[in-house]
Structures are given as structure tokens and as C-alpha cells.
Structure 1
Amino acid sequence: MLREVRAGRYVTPLREGGSLPGLVEGDDGSLYVAKFTGAAQGRKALVAEVVAGELARRLGLRVPELVSVEVDPVIALGEPDERVQELVKASRGTNLGLAFLPRALGFDPLGFPVEPLLAGRVLWLDALIGNVDRSWRNPNLLVRQGELWLIDHGASLIFHHNWPRAAASVHKPYDASDHALLRFAPQLAAADAELAGLVTGDVLSEVLALVPDAWLDGEPGFDSSDAVREAYVAQLAERVSGSRDWLPEVAA
């Protein structure tokens, strides 16, 4: 399981995007960007955040620490925005937190060069998980002290929104035409040679074990949270095996 913290104080809403995340202070004294189960994207967006983020970490990419945040709606009583109060009220229990990165800046492709191999690694991960939200319009990347950090993976793993048809999407090609790092000539073949062998069944099982039961319980077509975990593992293991014909073609 993810490390657990309890939200002691709601600091401020973060109004970028549609899910209305909030900056909260945990009972450990640290700040976290909280993403709530009551948001429109629901708990599957949080599952995708954990699976994609923790897989990225195991591939050597930088991702803020992910924690489970226990929320009592009372923390938002002082927030004047009724939408925030309603969101937090609908999110009682286990939510997701990303460690807040002070002094981090939003990625600007015109102001921060990315090495081709690193660009290839990020693109390879996004192709594996089907991340549709790493475009030049909305990179979901941060730069802190000269280092690139990956955030916001809730729009990945689209297959889990329709499990009966998930197997049909295993070899679905990834569209990289709008990818934020395409301009840096990503070395995708080198990244593939380096990373594909790291995504083993054991690694995928380790990552899925971090997803709280509360976000998996009651999934239609499955009799347990562990059965859902096994379906994620099988889907991603099958995608990464074989010829990986889902990888995009990029200019050398």
C-alpha cells in the first residue's frame, strides 16, 4: 500500500484542469496536491495516477511521492467555494496525494532542453500506458532544479473504462503527434531496448499492490479487488511483450 497520511488542513484549491485538486497539509507536516475520489473523473483516474506514476518511478523517471490521503470533509468547512466543499464532502475516506514540489516550474519546451534519450524514455512510458495528456498544450511536466518531473497521469490506461473490450486495445498504436517532447528527437528505439525488459509481471504486480482496495472494490465483472489487479497486470504485460507494434514512429 501507499504510505498513508491524514489531511489535517485544506490549504487552497488548485484550479488548473477540471478535477479541482487541492493543496492539503498532512498530519506529517508536509504539503500534498490532493486528488479526490469525488471529482468527475472518479476513482479510476486515481488508479491510473498510481499505476502510471509508480511504474514511471521504477523506470528511473522522476515522479513526486504518491501517498494515500485520508480525508474528513470537516477540513474544507472554512473554504468559501461551495464546489470545493461539495467535492471534499463527496471524497470522505481514501484519496490520492502527490508530494508538493516547492519552486517547481511548469515545463516550457522553448526554455528547457530535454536530452533525446530522456525524451525517448518519457515517450516510451506514455505509449505503454496510452497517456493522452502529455501534449505541447498541456505537458504535465515540471522542472525543478534542472530536473524533469512527471505529473498528472489520470488520463492514461483508457482501457480500464471498458474492461470487456480491454483485450482488443492491447496493440492499439499510440498517437504521438502532439507529444510535448517530440521536438527533442526522442531516442525511442534506445529507450525501448532499455526499458521493455524492466516491465515484468513481478514489477507490475508490485505496482498494482500499491492501489488501495477502496478504489478497486465493486468493479463490475470482477469478484475481488485482487482480480482487478490481475487484469491490469495481464493487460500491461501483454502490451509490453512481443513486437510492441504500438510504439509510434518518430524522426531520428
Structure 2
Amino acid sequence: MLAGVHWQPARIERVNRVLATSTKPLLVATDAGTALVKYMGNRAGLDALVTELLAAELASRVGLRTPDFAVVEIPDIETNDPLVTVQGGPAFFSRWEQAQSLSPNSKLLANLRRPSDVALLVVFDTWIRNKDRFADDADGGVLNYDNILFMPDKRKTQLLVIDHSHAFAETSLEDEINDFWATEETVYGLFNEFAPMLTRHDVKSALDTLCAVAIGEIRDICLSPPPEWGFTAGTANRLADLLVTRANRMSDWLPDAIFDQMELDLDGKEA
């Protein structure tokens, strides 16, 4: 079992359907409830499984909530979709949650129990170079509200982050995890809806949280994917070192980059 993971399905009991996203995940019934399964043979490749697992573990470590997750051995599975090939082997399972997704001008944000989670999410997405939620770049950008969910938390809401199959690298992890990976200075995750909630204090606190994670913990996380997913120990150790370097470098450039990118009218947001 992965460190800190307490939800562990043992088997798939029924495949309900194939979802129409890039990895064509399976929505399944398991002995531990409904789950979303990303598997070997998916169209996005093995790297999508590696990035899902690494991002979920890192998010949990810095205090962001994700659905419960696990790595589970599955058999070959036939589906009704001829374009879907589910190969047997270790698969990434994510517990299916009933939650609402973010939407333009959403009022759910204003009811967050921990408003500082917004700054932590922007800092986290920038740390792992996550294009799965929001990236405003020269290629036309990415805007995916569906990858931010809100769960009821008594009279408040709680942020829940999902889907990291395109984090860390645009092409392949083996090609992009190099000495330049930590030096890129692009802000990720900065939805327009987040701007009114961000403060320099919360951004700095989030950066301090990242920088406080010990290299040994990051290395253990980077080494956690099963060998069948093809993520070599050499690349894992290189990524661990670069994550530490990137977190420290971000402390210098990210706060100004965030607030320069936002509208200039930030009265009262310097606290």
C-alpha cells in the first residue's frame, strides 16, 4: 500500500462505462465502492499513470485534498469500445466522488472552508507544471473547470482536485525531466475566478509548505510508481531533485508573476 493511502479496492466487480476523456478511463464498481480507473494501454500512454500517482501523492503531502486513490492489479478487460485496450497490470484507481465542478463566476469558491487552498492550488499546479487545469500560454491555453471539484463540508465547501495526466511534461517524462525543467517561469492554475481570493501572504505560505517537504519524502514519492509503468529510478531521482530546486526557485519569482498576471486592482490583497 502507498504511504498515507487508506482506501484499497481489491477487485473490479463491474465496468459501468468508458468516459470520453483523453485517457478513456473506466467507471467501475469495486469491492470498495465506485471508482475511476486509468489503466495500461490507455491512449495517453504509461506516463499518464505515473503523473496521476505522483501528483496525487504530492498534493496529499502538501495539504490539498484529492479523491482517495490506490494502485491495484487488474486483468485484461474487454469493453464495448473498439478503440479502448485495457491491459492487465497495475492500474490507477481513484474513488468516485459526488461533487460539483467549478464554473465561471462560481459562488462555490466564496464558501470554501479554507480559502487559502486557492493559493496552495495555484502554487502546486505551477510546481508540477500542470496543464490539466489552467495554463495561459502561447499555444492557446487550457481552461478545464471540470478538474476542480467542490464537496459539501457541513455549511461550507471543500476543494477537491482531480486529473493530473498531463502534469510534469507535455511530451514524455523521459524527454522533459532535464536540467531545464526547474527553470521554467510559467504560472499554472490561475483561473480568473481565483484572483479576488489570492493574497501574497497565502501565496508565500503555500511556497513555504512546498519548500518544507523533505527531499527524502519527495524521492520516495517519485520512486513509488510500479516498474511496469516504465518510470525508471534514474528519472525518478532526477525529478525529485528538480522538484526541490523548482520549489526554491519559485519562492523568488512566483509571487510577483502571479500578481503581475492578475488585474492591477488588488486593493486590500497585499496582506
User: What's the TM-score once normalised by structure 2's chain length?
Assistant: 0.76
**Mapped partners of 1:229, 1:177: distance in 2:** 24
**Mapped partners of 1:226, 1:150: distance in 2:** 27
Q: What letter corresponds to residue 211 of structure 2 in structure 1?
A: G
**Mapped partners of 2:29, 2:234: distance in 1:** 34
Partner SS, residue 66 of structure 2? coil
TM-fit CA distance, 1:69: 2.7
8 Å CA contact retained: 2:130, 2:188: no
The match for 2:258 is: 249
Q: Would the alpha carbon gap of residues 9 and 177 (structure 1) be closer, same or farther in structure 2, given more than 3 Å must change?
A: closer
The match for 1:105 is: 100
Partner SS, residue 5 of structure 1? coil
Structure 2 counterpart of 1:233, from 223, 240, 243: 240
Q: Would the alpha carbon gap of residues 5 and 93 (structure 1) be closer, same or farther in structure 2, given more than 3 Å must change?
A: same
8 Å CA contact retained: 1:124, 1:188: no
The match for 2:125 is: 126
Partner SS, residue 51 of structure 1? helix
1:32-57 CA distances to partner (integer Å, 9 max, x unpaired)?
A: 10012212211111111111111111
Asked whether 1:204 is paired with 2:218, we answer yes
Q: What letter corresponds to residue 144 of structure 2 in structure 1?
A: N
Q: What letter corresponds to residue 122 of structure 1 in structure 2?
A: L
TM-fit CA distance, 1:6: 2.9
User: What's the TM-score once normalised by structure 1's chain length?
Assistant: 0.81
8 Å CA contact retained: 2:54, 2:221: yes
**Mapped partners of 2:121, 2:51: distance in 1:** 16
Moved more, 44-53 or 122-131: 44-53
1:79-121 CA distances to partner (integer Å, 9 max, x unpaired)?
A: 433223xx22xx22111111111x2122224231256522110
Q: Can you give the 5+ residue segments of structure 1 that lack an aligned partner in the other structure?
A: 218-224
**Mapped partners of 2:117, 2:82: distance in 1:** 42
The count of aligned residue pairs is: 235
Map of 1:1-252 to 2, 5 A cutoff?
A: 1-2=1-2, 3=8, 5-15=10-20, 17-26=21-30, 28-74=31-77, 76=78, 79-84=79-84, 87-88=85-86, 91-101=87-97, 103-108=98-103, 109-114=105-110, 116-135=115-134, 137-139=143-145, 140-145=147-152, 146-158=157-169, 161-163=173-175, 166-176=178-188, 179=191, 181-187=193-199, 189-193=201-205, 194-216=208-230, 225-242=232-249, 244-245=251-252, 247=254, 248-250=257-259, 251=262, 252=269
Q: Would the alpha carbon gap of residues 31 and 192 (structure 1) be closer, same or farther in structure 2, given more than 3 Å must change?
A: same
Sequence identity, in percent?
23
TM-fit CA distance, 1:10: 1.3
8 Å CA contact retained: 2:178, 2:238: no
User: Structure 1 residue runs of 4+, over 6 Å off?
Assistant: none
TM-fit CA distance, 1:170: 1.1
Q: What letter corresponds to residue 69 of structure 1 in structure 2?
A: V
Partner SS, residue 40 of structure 2? coil
Q: Can you give the 5+ residue segments of structure 2 that lack an aligned partner in the other structure?
A: 3-7, 135-141, 263-268
